[in-house]
């Protein structure tokens, strides 16, 4: 429902002003970042996949720009531009348009232009408190706008990483599985490979290099690779150094010496990813899973429980909260908590609000240090539709 008539626009604006009033009352400073943004930051944070759903263009000077696909990165940039120290604590709120290319054609449920009202909290080290406050404020704004029937869906990418650590996997494998988590099939393939034939990748390496690559001496390994290329007359082309290639091959060679991933551990990971249901029950399931690992229940579950307690304290009815372990896939900004607010009229495919933690984004946006950050945005056209009874 793009606001193409004055009446629709007025209705959306009135609603947005009500939302912004809730945000500013809670101490968030209202900002209005630029609509046109450098594409670089987004491409760095999301990767080339961004282009498939963003309006990226070249200006007459040859600079690559984009119409902002969200207001989170623009707010990060604004924060950095204002502050010598981006780690300084700040709370912002905004209301404005965002743009997405819809490959299957734009329609009412897949608009190419839509409006977001949202909040960001930067620099807070009491993480779960900042997360619970963000969720509570979004819910409060939604309720102020007249939304009564909603449910909250939580996910946590940090919990998956914590499970890998608790299971005692080599750091190399933890890294690989964390990367694979983004896609269901990739995770399954990687688990299968690690539990059946971790040596498989090493088989592709030149046999004569295996010994030196698997050894302790990294200089000798690099020299071995250089000699190998030299002997075969393979010219070193490009910016990637022999050192970098050697490091990558050393990882493969080390894999070959590792015992395969235990079937029980692979099962543990798969069981975790499948967890989905009421947040309180899911907590018990995760607790039971972690209890069976080498290092037992860790700090990760404390985080989970603390977050739920903080949400309950903030007046959120936990009966409305669900948890899904695999939620967070395909949302590559996020590094920890992810959440969305769902209404029965619009369904799970069209959440009225969503957000989470993205501790790496500030660095991608130009900060020289990592800055803890959590935020969320309300899809205001959807919200208006939900509160007016699903009519568009």
Partner 1 sequence: MSKLTLAVPSKGRLMEQTTELFAQAGLNVRKIGHARGYRGEIEGLPNVDVAYVSSSEIAAALKSGSVHLGITGEDLVCETMSDSETRVTFLQKLGFGFADVVVAVPACWIDVASVGDLEDIAQSFRRAHGRWPRAATKYMNLTRRFFAAKGFGDYRIVESLGATEGTPAAGTAEFIVDITTTGETLRANGLRILDDGVILKSQANLVASNVAAWTPQLLAVREALTRRLKR
* Contact positions vs partner 1 (CB under 8 A): 43-44, 46-49, 51-52, 103-104, 175, 179, 182-183, 185-186, 204-206, 225, 228-229, 234-242, 244-245, 247-249, 252, 332
d(CA 48, CA 111): 22
Closest distance of CB 220 from partner 1, Å: 17
CB of 201: closest distance to partner 1 in angstroms?
9
Angle at alpha carbon of residue 143, lines to 139 and 144, rounded to 5°: 115
Q: Which is nearer to partner 1, 46 or 286 (CB)?
A: 46
Nearer to partner 1, 136 or 186 (CB): 186
Smallest gap, in angstroms, from Cβ of residue 154 to partner 1? 25
CB 314 within 8 A of CB 129: no
Q: Are 303 and 158 in contact (CB under 8 A)?
A: yes
User: Residue 123 has which token pair?
Assistant: 């620099």
Strand 151-156 vs strand 321-324: parallel, antiparallel, or unpaired?
parallel
Tell me whether residue 14 or residue 203 sits nearer to partner 1 (CB atom).
203
Distance of CA 159 to the CA centre of its chain: 13
Q: How far is the CB of 138 from partner 1 (least distance, A)?
A: 28
Could you tell me the smallest distance in angstroms from the CB atom of residue 40 to partner 1?
Answer: 9
- Residue 53 or 320 with smaller CB distance to partner 1: 53
Q: Which is nearer to partner 1, 46 or 159 (CB)?
A: 46
Q: What angle do CA 180, 216, 190 make, to 5 degrees?
A: 15
Q: List, in order, residues 6 or more apart from 281 with CB less than 8 Å away.
A: none
Least distance CB 78 / partner 1 (angstroms): 23
At residue 239, φ and ψ (nearest 5 deg) are -90, -15
Token pair 């232009």 in the structure block, residue:
113
Q: Which two tokens stand for residue 364?
A: 């991608």
In contact, 381 and 111? CB cutoff 8 Å: yes
Distance CA 111, CA 114 (A): 6
Nearer to partner 1, 190 or 340 (CB): 190
Is-contact 138 315, C-beta < 8 A? Answer: no
Report, in Å, the least distance between residue 186 CB and partner 1: 6
**Closer residue to partner 1 in complex, CB, 40/305:** 40
């Amino acid at each position: 429902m793009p606001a193409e008539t004055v009446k629709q626009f007025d209705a959306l604006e009135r609603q947005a002003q009500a939302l912004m009033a809730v945000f500013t009352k809670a101490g968030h400073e209202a900002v209005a970042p630029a609509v046109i943004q450098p594409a670089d930051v987004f491409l760095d944070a999301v990767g080339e996949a961004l282009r498939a759903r963003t309006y990226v263009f070249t200006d007459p000077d040859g600079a690559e720009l984009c119409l902002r696909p969200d207001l989170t990165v623009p707010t990060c940039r604004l924060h950095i531009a204002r502050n010598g120290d981006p780690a300084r604590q700040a709370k912002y709120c905004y209301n404005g348009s965002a743009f997405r290319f819809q490959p299957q054609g734009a329609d009412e449920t897949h608009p190419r232009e839509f409006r977001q009202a949202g909040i960001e909290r930067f620099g807070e080290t009491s993480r779960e408190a900042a997360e619970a406050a963000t969720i509570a404020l979004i819910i409060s704004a939604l309720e102020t706008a007249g939304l009564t029937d909603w449910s909250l869906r939580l996910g946590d990418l940090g919990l998956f990483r914590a499970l890998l650590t608790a299971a005692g996997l080599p750091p190399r494998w933890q890294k690989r599985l964390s990367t694979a988590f983004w896609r269901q099939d990739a995770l399954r393939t990687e688990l299968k490979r690690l539990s059946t034939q971790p040596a498989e990748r090493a088989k592709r390496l030149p046999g004569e290099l295996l010994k030196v690559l698997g050894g302790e001496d990294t200089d000798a390994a690099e020299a071995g690779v250089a000699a190998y290329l030299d002997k075969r007359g393979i010219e070193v082309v490009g910016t990637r150094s022999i050192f970098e290639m050697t490091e990558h091959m050393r990882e493969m060679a080390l894999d070959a010496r590792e015992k395969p991933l235990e079937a029980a551990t692979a099962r543990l990971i798969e069981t975790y990813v499948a967890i989905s249901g009421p947040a309180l029950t899911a907590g018990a399931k995760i607790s039971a899973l972690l209890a069976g690992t080498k290092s037992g229940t860790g700090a990760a579950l404390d985080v989970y429980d603390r977050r739920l307690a903080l949400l309950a304290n903030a007046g959120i009815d936990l009966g409305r909260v669900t948890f899904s372990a695999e939620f967070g896939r395909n949302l590559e900004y996020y590094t920890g908590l992810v959440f969305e607010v769902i209404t029965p009229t619009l369904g799970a495919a069209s959440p009225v609000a969503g957000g989470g933690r993205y501790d790496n984004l500030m660095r991608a946006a130009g900060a020289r240090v990592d800055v803890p950050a959590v935020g969320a945005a309300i899809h205001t056209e959807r919200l208006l539709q939900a509160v007016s009874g699903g009519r568009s």
